[in-house]
């Protein structure tokens, strides 16, 4: 039952975000914010596929234990692409709200992104181990959480100040994704059922992409 449900869910998720990303790129009409948003959606879907596709294969064949190394490498790739996802989302914010300066914020965003990616590349993460390091799971997610918090604040304030209704809830999608993701990082090894939080986390990311898609459709009308 788990194999069928997870596989179906992942297929729908990956197909949806990648398709929406392609649609936004094709229909952006040269608007940079939607080119960025479309690229962001494709990076999200393609990055997650490196983990979700092997996981689906494992569940439908001999089990997760036989795919430990492949799944670990997939998690590494996903960790990097998720960082790129938020970096692109920052530039969506700059384009949508016509931000011309804020060089300090840009520097902070890049610093957090680079630190996060570098921490992900350390061998101490033990990505291919059946019992990866919890400590390093926390270390690499500190700059990631700070990056997410910064993006939340930026979108929350700008949407409120400008009355931007299409993007009014984008900050909330990020809050939900982190609220579901961080407990998995901290407790999933000890309490496997916590891993179920990845479902609402994934739905939150679909919501994020849908916000960009609906805004584009609204403008093109």
Task: State residue 175's pLDDT score.
Answer: 97
Query: What pLDDT was estimated at residue 81?
Result: 97
State yes or no: pLDDT of 2 exceeds 80: no
Is the pLDDT at 190 greater than 90? The verdict is no
User: pLDDT (tens digit, 9 = 90+) per residue, 7-37?
Assistant: 999 999 999 999 999 999 999 999 999 999 9
Give the three-class secondary structure for 133.
coil
Higher pLDDT, 122 or 188: 122
Q: Note the pTM of the prediction, 2 decimals.
A: 0.94
What are 136-185's pLDDT values in tens digits?
Answer: 999 999 999 999 999 999 999 999 999 999 999 999 999 999 999 999 98
pLDDT at res. 40: 97
Q: Is the pLDDT of residue 191 over 90?
A: no
Encode pLDDT of 54-82 as tens digits.
999 998 888 888 899 999 999 999 999 99
In the chain, the number of structural domains is 1
195 band by pLDDT with thresholds 50, 70 and 90: confident
| Encoded tokens for 181 | 């993701």
Q: How far apart, in whole angstroms, are the C-alpha atoms of residue 194 and residue 173?
A: 19
What gap in Å lies between CA 59 and CA 48, rounded to an integer? 16
Print the domain residue range for 28. Answer: 2-220
Q: Which long-range contacts (CB under 8 A, 24 or more apart) does 17-24 make?
A: 17/41, 17/42, 17/44, 17/45, 17/205, 17/206, 17/209, 18/42, 18/45, 18/46, 20/209, 20/210, 20/212, 20/213, 21/45, 21/209, 23/213, 24/212, 24/213, 24/216
DSSP state, residue 130: S
pLDDT at 193: 84
Confidence at residue 207, expressed as pLDDT on a 0 to 100 scale: 97
CATH number at residue 178: 1.20.1070.10
**pLDDT band (50, 70, 90) for residue 111:** very high
Band (pLDDT 50/70/90 cuts) for residue 102 is confident
Percent of the chain topping pLDDT 70: 100
């Amino acid at each position: 039952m788990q194999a069928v449900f997870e596989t179906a869910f992942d297929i729908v998720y990956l197909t949806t975000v990648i398709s929406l990303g392609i649609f936004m790129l094709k229909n952006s009409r040269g608007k940079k914010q939607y080119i960025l948003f479309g690229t962001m959606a494709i990076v999200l879907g393609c990055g997650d596929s490196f983990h979700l596709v092997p996981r689906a294969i494992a569940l439908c064949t001999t089990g997760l234990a036989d795919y430990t190394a492949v799944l670990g490498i997939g998690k590494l790739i996903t960790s990097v692409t998720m960082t790129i996802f938020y970096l692109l989302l920052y530039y969506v914010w700059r384009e949508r709200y016509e931000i011309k300066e804020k060089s300090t914020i840009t520097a902070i965003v890049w610093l957090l992104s680079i630190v996060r990616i570098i921490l992900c590349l350390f061998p101490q993460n033990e990505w291919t181990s059946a019992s990866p390091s919890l400590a390093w799971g926390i270390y690499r997610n500190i700059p990631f959480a700070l990056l997410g918090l910064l993006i939340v604040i930026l979108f929350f304030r700008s949407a409120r100040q400008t009355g931007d209704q299409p993007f009014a809830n984008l900050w909330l999608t990020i809050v939900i994704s982190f609220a579901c993701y961080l407990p998995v990082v901290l407790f999933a090894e000890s309490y496997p059922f916590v891993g179920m939080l990845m479902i609402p986390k994934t739905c939150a990311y679909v919501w994020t992409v849908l916000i960009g898609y609906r805004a584009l459709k609204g403008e093109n009308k």
